[in-house]
Structure 1
Amino acid sequence: MKTTMPAERDMQQEATATGRDTRTAVLTRSVRANVPLRKIFVQANAGGDSRHGPLKDFVTGRDLRGLKAYLLIVAACSNGENGWSTTHDSAVWARLMDIHMTADDQSARTGAWRALLRLRERKLIDCCRSGTMITVTLMREDGSGRPYDRPDGKTEENRYLQIPAAFWTTGRDESLDLPSLALFLVVAREKNWSAFPAEKAPEWYGWSADTHERGLKKLIALGLVERREHYIKAPLAPLGFTKTHQYKRTAIMQPRRPRKKTASAGR
């Protein structure tokens, strides 16, 4: 039986791609500085029976792995080069989700496929496999099962938030738990310096006030979101005003501005 020497094992480990390496490669291949995500994934538009978006089911179902996988799929597929689809070996999918860190090869492959099936059940993607290869096709972010198309921002249904590629390439995603990742998307959905009252969370988003507060606190602690006090005139309040908090993403998590094209020499 052939054995691997310690030095050879060290060389193999050093040369093996990490989850972050793999996520960076996916983003580099899709040539995205920012990843668009329809706002209705986080919160439905006003006027319907409920304001809850598909994000609610990830939070209440405690599916952090599925949520991270879905955001990466949007990043990988939304450039449209392959018909809103992407194909990888199941081991690559497992590494994209960091499952390989806590499971052997076969268990990691199985875990990745199960995570993708949960997304298919939510009608956010379609997926199929052939041997060890898995193809995933993006669907509308509202969970309707309709085919995906790139949001253009021209209508209420097509308004979108943007997640900078640096969210993944600098490893910011790795430090977030489910409440903080959900609240990152909530803050990204709105204008800078918006208020996110915890008591409105059950009505607006579908999760508890406690989950809401924990998510915001962790984002602030990690330096991904900043907070400021905001005072509102209130003639009937004892002090004549009330105090609220407003939030915005810090600079590193703001969408990247496209580089301006320079004129060609001689023109």
Structure 2
Amino acid sequence: MKTTSPAERDIQIAKATGRDTRTEILKRSIRANVPLRKTFVQAPRGSTSRHGPLRDFVTGRDLRGLKAYLLIVAACSNGTDGWSTRHDSAVWARMMDIDRTATDQAARTGAWRALRRLQERNLITCTRKGTMITVTLLREDGSGAPYERPVGQSEQDLYLQIPAAFWTKGYDEQIDLPALALLLVVLREKNWSKFPAERAPDWYGWSPDTHERGLKKLLDLGLVERRPQYTKAPLAPSGVTMAYQYQRTAPMRPRKPRKQAATKLNGGSAAKPEHTQTKKPAARAARQGR
């Protein structure tokens, strides 16, 4: 019977996990919050269809691909390497947790296939040389246009922010596909918005049942909170109607960059926040209907 030496056991214990890998990627990208154009979730008003690229992940049941894409945005969007990131295929596999249930070669193959699906959706380009895979961001609307950092100067350029805590605190490991889709929907809108399930097929492209399950899971995870809103309704039996409003909880609120927070504590002038929107587009975003 083969035995494992103490040295070999120490190596196994010290091996990096998927969360370790994701956390290191976020550290390298220097991200307090990850900017993502709102057009990934929903097309602007006036478009032929309001569905964004997110719909295809939900209807295709591609949770792995969606998680990988969001992390790629986090890794690339600081622009230090031309909107690209490069890793060994084994690192990509560990980043996606594929290595948990597959052999080394199967995990590498699975990672490459997941990245190719993102490429087919015109969200990235990916190239492979030996075991190294380079991924480059494209625009989030799935048009295949080159990526540029969003600055919020137009409706097509407005963005939501995903706090790094989503990955570093392990929420990404607990969330399911409907909940992740609805998290992006909630992050897209202002606080205390309504998200009627009956409008989900038209607004987002998935079923009311998926919509409701996603909101319930977010409540269970403590990532959103809700409150009832009552409206006078003269023709309703009770004279009122009730609908829930939702907002993100503290873990999902954008974080201030460390340098900015430190400057304020020291009484100095704060640096301009990361990806700060001007007041005019921000106000427009707050008023924007779905």
Alpha-carbon separation, structure 2, partners of 1:182 and 1:116: 19
Q: Secondary structure at the match of 1:248?
A: strand
Q: Superposition pairs for residues 246-257 of structure 1, below 5 Å?
A: 246-257=245-256
- The aligned amino acid for 1:229 is P
Alpha-carbon separation, structure 2, partners of 1:208 and 1:8: 52
> Residue 14 of structure 1 aligns with which residue?
13
> Aligned-pair distance for 1:229?
0.6
- The aligned amino acid for 1:5 is T
Q: Secondary structure at the match of 2:52?
A: coil
Identity of matched residues, %: 71
- The aligned amino acid for 1:91 is A
Alpha-carbon separation, structure 2, partners of 1:254 and 1:9: 42
Q: Secondary structure at the match of 1:143?
A: coil
2:66 is the counterpart of 1:58 = no
> Aligned-pair distance for 1:8?
3.0
2:30 is the counterpart of 1:34 = no
> Aligned-pair distance for 1:263?
5.9
Alpha-carbon separation, structure 1, partners of 2:122 and 2:190: 28
Alpha-carbon separation, structure 2, partners of 1:247 and 1:88: 38
> Residue 95 of structure 2 aligns with which residue?
96
Alpha-carbon separation, structure 2, partners of 1:243 and 1:173: 32
- The aligned amino acid for 1:215 is G
Alpha-carbon separation, structure 1, partners of 2:165 and 2:142: 27
> Residue 129 of structure 2 aligns with which residue?
130
> Residue 196 of structure 1 aligns with which residue?
195
- The aligned amino acid for 2:147 is Y
> Residue 216 of structure 1 aligns with which residue?
215
Structure 1 unpaired stretches of 5+: none
> Aligned-pair distance for 1:6?
4.4
Q: Secondary structure at the match of 2:228?
A: strand
Q: Superposition pairs for residues 48-87 of structure 1, below 5 Å?
A: 48-87=47-86
Q: Secondary structure at the match of 1:5?
A: coil
> Aligned-pair distance for 1:154?
1.2
Normalising by structure 2, we get a TM-score of 0.88
> Aligned-pair distance for 1:5?
2.0
Q: Secondary structure at the match of 2:45?
A: coil
Corresponding pairs, count: 262
- The aligned amino acid for 2:121 is R
> Residue 117 of structure 1 aligns with which residue?
116
Q: Secondary structure at the match of 1:174?
A: helix
- The aligned amino acid for 2:98 is I
Alpha-carbon separation, structure 1, partners of 2:146 and 2:230: 44
- Runs of 4+ with >6 A deviation: none
2:254 is the counterpart of 1:225 = no
Normalising by structure 1, we get a TM-score of 0.96
- The aligned amino acid for 1:176 is I
- The aligned amino acid for 1:219 is L
- The aligned amino acid for 1:120 is Q
- The aligned amino acid for 1:44 is A
> Aligned-pair distance for 1:4?
6.2
> Aligned-pair distance for 1:233?
1.8
> Residue 241 of structure 1 aligns with which residue?
240
Structure 2 unpaired stretches of 5+: 269-290
RMSD: 1.2
- The aligned amino acid for 2:206 is W
